[in-house]
Structure 1
Amino acid sequence: MLLADQPIPVYTNLTDLYGSFGSSLNHAVRWNELTEEFKSRFGRPPTYIVRAPGRVNLIGEHIDYALFGVLPTAVERDILIACAPRPGDSPGSVVAENLNAKYSKQDFAPTTISDGKAEGWHLDIDKKELRWESYVKAGYYGVLSHYFPKSTDKPVPVDMLVTGSVPAGSGLSSSAAMVVASTLTFLAVNNKLEQVQGSEHKPLSKGNLVTMAMENEKRVGVNSGGMDQAASVMSNASSALYITFYPTLSASPLPLPQRALFIITNSLVVSDKAVTAKHRYNLRVVETLVGARVLARALGIKLHDVHGEGHGHGHGHGHNKTKWEKVTYREVLGRFVNEPQGCGPEGDMGPESLIIALKGILTKLNCLLPQRIRGAAARERESEELGVTMEEMIEMSGLSPKVFHEVYLSWVDVEATHFQLYKRAKHVFSESLRVLQFRKICLDAADNLPFRSISNKASTNNEPDRLGQLMNESQKSCSDVFECSCPELDLLTKLCREAGAYGSRLTGAGWGGCAVSLVAEDKAEAFIQKIKETYPPYKDLEGPKLEEVIFATRPSSGACGGFFKFWCRKVD
């Protein structure tokens, strides 16, 4: 069975959920403390505890929303939500509390709205001043809209208590973990973990939960590509995930070399991608989408713009009756090499052909530069000169200003004087190539079992060195080309390489947060000590405070393995 089709299971002990790998986190203590605190605050035990982990992306940054494959894995650090229906209160009302004292108690309830034809739900989510409960509301909204379409069917009132060990704004996807956990919470307490298909009741699948969580996170103002949610839901405790989004969402396990450790180092620069989205994350999404249309037009690739009757003009006349395709770079690449189109395996050229295609299209990107500087000398120019103005970008798209705004700007807030179509495309295609090369190295190593030791420098094919080189190339591209790094991350990854890492790169959206480094298992302790001594923000940290900012991780179970029914609960 494909990972996306697997049901979300219920576990009754922590060993099955977390596996045998231990960390500095004492899982049993955390679960028991959360249970006892819930009982203390609400006067009864929770019905469920829901878990959703954070994730680390090993390689493949900012390419998921271009529909290219990525290589993340869930980490042990997670969001836990204890919850129970609350008897005798108004339907749908929520009391949300957080064990972290800096997050205040929240009471809220959805309201019904009507457009004259049908009723819907409303929850007030402030995208400008993002608060912790906004992620709870985002998860709730998806459950309401999917499972309570009629006002006669009322959701139950809920008490919930949240705790988390994923540092916020760290690049380990605490926001996606929170949205996945809250979505799963409201599904569980409302008994919506099964879907009715005809006369059958089928368990909600991991793919269903990923899709819903993706939709939900957009309600806090982040246009996520789906990697974070898929990693949080679909991961298992024995491998990384190769996640693809074209032609449909798919995930497959990827074995990693034994004795390999990925060590997370927090730059301690907080980057809240929802708050800064208009000139960082969402701006990159717009630059990437517009660049795909411009590249398609320059290469003579047909776009699936559906014109209404009598409205076939290319510059937007009659746009109210025209559906303009928001094409992605992955779709442009497929059409560039005449890939068969469709769902399932017949709509995917396969990794080997994809590698060849990526190498080819990387030579075709000069059309994304301003007309005035196209040519080899462009590589030496300043970043602003490589960008195009809004007026130039609209002209290159072939759309009228009104249509362009409707297609690319009406649904998102962005700020920029110059838009870096060329640089973003160069990163997307080269990073996608690195993901496939990383995957191939891991698969080739797995075919030669037993895996070579990660600490054996004399290994015939030098897998750790090759993986590390790809990670280092990724960091350089993220910093110089996609411009999603920051001085602290540039310094931290440099220090990690000097401390003995095979490779080190930022992970997550960037502009702060964490780096991930590939380190030989027997060198991990020395590596951590070296970083403590050389990265200035770490020098005064000891014990638990140091363990919060630098820690080793292996693949962890996802949210698919993480909520308990307490009538059969047993904590190991």
Structure 2
Amino acid sequence: MAAELPIPIYTNLNDLYANLGTTLNHAERWNTLVEEFEKRYGRKPEYIARAPGRINVIGEHIDYALFGVLPTAVERDILIACAPRSPAKDKEEAYGEVVANNTHPKYTESQFVPEKKAHSSMFKGISDSEPGEDVVHVEQWHLDIDTSQLRWESYIKAGYYGVLNNFFAPADTDAKPVPMDMLVSGNLPSGSGLSSSAAMVVGSTLAFLAANGKLEDANLTKGRLVEIAVENEKRVGVNSGGMDQAASVISQPGSVLYITFYPKLSATPTSLPPRAVLVVANSLVVADKAVSAKWCYNLRVVETLVGARILARHLGVKLDDKEKVTYREVVGRLAEEKKGEEAGKGGGMEESRLKEAIQLVLNEVDHLKGRDEKDGEGVSMEEMIELSGLTADAFNELYLSWVEVEADNFKLYRRAKHVLSEALRVLEFSDICQKGESETVLQELGTLMNESHKSCNDEFDCSCPELNELTELARQSGAYGSRLTGAGWGGCCVSLVAEDEVESFLQKMKAGYGRFKDLEGEALSEALFATRPSSGACVFKYTE
């Protein structure tokens, strides 16, 4: 499987560039980064770590329902040049010291040193009758990360944490990380839904592994790097299901990545038709996720989880009172899915059976409507608790104690319609890709993308007027299909465009969307750009 492959380490730039795509001048960026590193540090870097951003081609807001999604890495990326330094002989704390700079002028230099800190560990004696005892004996690595204001170096530190705690046992006095210099460069616009934060964490994790000679570790597969990066990103307060990191690490050139989260995280490449080019357009609307989460993202998660419980009860699926069951788990239990087995996209069942089971549950979503509900306007908190079969206290503990939401009505019916139909669209999209290339194939893929956006807007309420305007303009400008990508409520859309139509398409989009008209140069290229599915994260090692 793709997740079991090692991290690519290149020593020839031509081989590396051949895997990145064709729409950007990658060589120029890499050469500029090397020259800038040499100016700042007086020597050339020994490694450059690359981690791309990602777009989700189809499959929005269904990962936390544990259904498969189809993201891909984009050509735009984070590059981190780095080189170890010799520690000062009279300065013990210099071990592991990092001097981090960023080529963007708005980011200032950061220097930090990891510390070993002891903490108390409670353990019980050999006999159960013996009392517990506090013993201070455990050391862990520590780096200060202020999650209240996410500075750029916080993501660098997050990557360092995973390397320290996985590859440098604090109790081992001989295991010392090297001091190092690094220079970060990126052409991924932040806050646009292209997962620049995940790319930064993946890239920094790779840079620290490379500088410390840990890349050849026998257990460091792509899948293992994804796991480490997911844990690392939690250090900056981001809880991720793994889609962003998996797309950044495991993606292959020319392919979308079918990522499934059930029964475990796995990734399978699926080739896009050769003529297919993806064009990303930023609405330039930035959703303040920290402020809006309680009536946007967090609310959708709760509505989706509660809907799954209610439908499970209606369909006679057995549940534990303390179980936050997902729609994917409901589908599996209904179809008597075999535990511990995997069969391609279907998890523990064949894909055809998975589709049938999803459709069966989708046919029952009317049951999520309240007694007097019309047109999916939602149910009250009281009626939702009643439908769940739980007491108010048990419901609050299971669904509301860990997240803040704000709503008068909970639109369980509409959310379920989107999640289940989107899960089917993802499977269908992947199947169509395997038909090869023809005009009909591209049209069919575009139709699924259009249906996905309509569902995101109408059923999941996660679009916005600007994204609707952009996707409609994209279709009028020649795209086979266009849809929002990322969580929504702002950010980007992705359009499927034929290779020979890309230039005229970009011109029409620039002329047609008001927020693009005054943009030129790099500002425009960050907001509107074409990309081919790119390869995942890698490291270049200088051998001279």
Q: Give the TM-score category using the shorter length.
A: 0.7 to 0.9
Match of 1:566 in 2: 542
Match of 2:44 in 1: 45
Match of 1:261 in 2: 277
Match of 1:318 in 2: none
SS in 1 for 2:278: strand
Does the 8 A contact of 1:80 with 1:162 survive in 2? Answer: yes
The answer on 1:556 being equivalent to 2:540 is: no
Distance change (3 Å), C-alpha of 1:96 and 1:398:
farther
Q: Deviations over 1:87-108 (max 9, x none)?
A: 2353333332211112222233
1:328 aligned residue (299, 315, 326): 326
Distance change (3 Å), C-alpha of 1:412 and 1:215:
farther
- TM-score, scaled to structure 2: 0.88
Structure-1 separation of matches of 2:79 and 2:503: 29
Structure-1 separation of matches of 2:351 and 2:394: 36
Q: Which amino acid aligns with 1:60?
A: G
- How many pairs were matched up? 519
SS in 2 for 1:116: strand
Distance change (3 Å), C-alpha of 1:417 and 1:122:
farther
Distance change (3 Å), C-alpha of 1:513 and 1:356:
same
SS in 1 for 2:371: helix
The answer on 1:438 being equivalent to 2:414 is: no
Distance change (3 Å), C-alpha of 1:332 and 1:91:
farther
TM-fit CA distance, 1:519: 1.6
TM-fit CA distance, 1:6: 0.5
1:289 aligned residue (281, 305, 319): 305
Distance change (3 Å), C-alpha of 1:425 and 1:121:
farther
Distance change (3 Å), C-alpha of 1:266 and 1:347:
closer
Q: After the TM superposition, which residues 19-34 of structure 1 pair with which residues of structure 2 at under 5 Å, given as runs?
A: 19=18, 23=22, 25-34=24-33
Q: Deviations over 1:305-339 (max 9, x none)?
A: 4xxxxxxxx5xxxxxxxxx4332221111001211
Match of 2:182 in 1: 160
Structure-2 separation of matches of 1:291 and 1:121: 41
Distance change (3 Å), C-alpha of 1:258 and 1:45:
closer
Match of 1:138 in 2: 158
TM-fit CA distance, 1:20: 6.8
The answer on 1:501 being equivalent to 2:499 is: no
Does the 8 A contact of 2:19 with 2:534 survive in 1? Answer: no
Distance change (3 Å), C-alpha of 1:248 and 1:114:
same
TM-fit CA distance, 1:548: 2.5
Q: Deviations over 1:1-47 (max 9, x none)?
A: x1011011201123322327765532222112212222222333222
Q: After the TM superposition, which residues 73-472 of structure 1 pair with which residues of structure 2 at under 5 Å, given as runs?
A: 73-86=72-85, 87-88=87-88, 89-111=93-115, 112-117=117-122, 118-152=138-172, 153-195=175-217, 202-271=218-287, 273=289, 276-303=292-319, 305=320, 314=321, 324-345=322-343, 347-369=347-369, 371-374=370-373, 378-379=374-375, 382=377, 386-389=378-381, 392-399=383-390, 404=395, 406-443=397-434, 445-446=435-436, 451-452=437-438, 454=439, 462-472=440-450
Does the 8 A contact of 2:22 with 2:532 survive in 1? Answer: no
Q: Percent identity?
A: 62
SS in 1 for 2:423: helix
Structure-2 separation of matches of 1:295 and 1:41: 60
Structure-1 separation of matches of 2:149 and 2:191: 15
Structure-2 separation of matches of 1:150 and 1:394: 48
Distance change (3 Å), C-alpha of 1:144 and 1:368:
farther
TM-fit CA distance, 1:512: 1.5
RMSD of aligned alpha carbons: 2.5
Structure-2 separation of matches of 1:409 and 1:248: 26
Distance change (3 Å), C-alpha of 1:565 and 1:258:
closer
Identify the range of structure 1 (174-183 vs 107-116) with the bigger mean alpha-carbon deviation: 107-116
TM-fit CA distance, 1:77: 0.3
Identify the range of structure 1 (536-545 vs 490-499) with the bigger mean alpha-carbon deviation: 536-545
Match of 1:320 in 2: none
Structure-1 separation of matches of 2:158 and 2:521: 36
Q: Which amino acid aligns with 2:101?
A: E
TM-fit CA distance, 1:408: 4.0
Structure-2 separation of matches of 1:26 and 1:526: 20
TM-fit CA distance, 1:230: 1.0
Match of 1:199 in 2: none
TM-fit CA distance, 1:168: 0.8
Distance change (3 Å), C-alpha of 1:325 and 1:186:
farther
SS in 2 for 1:231: helix
Match of 2:125 in 1: none
Match of 1:7 in 2: 6
Match of 1:537 in 2: 515
Structure-2 separation of matches of 1:330 and 1:494: 31
Q: Which amino acid aligns with 1:564?
A: F
Q: Deviations over 1:255-278 (max 9, x none)?
A: 222322211111122346567544
Structure-2 separation of matches of 1:224 and 1:427: 21
- TM-score, scaled to structure 1: 0.84
TM-fit CA distance, 1:472: 0.6
Does the 8 A contact of 1:17 with 1:557 survive in 2? Answer: no
Distance change (3 Å), C-alpha of 1:325 and 1:119:
farther
Distance change (3 Å), C-alpha of 1:367 and 1:221:
farther
Does the 8 A contact of 1:243 with 1:249 survive in 2? Answer: yes
Distance change (3 Å), C-alpha of 1:343 and 1:282:
farther
TM-fit CA distance, 1:423: 2.5
Q: Which amino acid aligns with 1:108?
A: F
Structure-2 separation of matches of 1:169 and 1:190: 31
SS in 2 for 1:34: helix
Structure-2 separation of matches of 1:140 and 1:187: 9
Match of 2:133 in 1: none
Q: Which amino acid aligns with 1:143?
A: V
Structure-1 separation of matches of 2:12 and 2:236: 33
Match of 1:58 in 2: 57
Distance change (3 Å), C-alpha of 1:190 and 1:520:
same
SS in 2 for 1:359: helix
Structure 1: stretches of 5+ with no match in the other structure:
196-201, 306-313, 315-323, 455-461
Structure-1 separation of matches of 2:334 and 2:297: 27
Structure-2 separation of matches of 1:422 and 1:205: 41
Structure-2 separation of matches of 1:553 and 1:273: 26
Q: Which amino acid aligns with 2:188?
A: V
Q: Which amino acid aligns with 1:342?
A: G
Structure-1 separation of matches of 2:531 and 2:165: 36
SS in 2 for 1:8: coil
SS in 2 for 1:44: coil
Structure-2 separation of matches of 1:333 and 1:133: 42
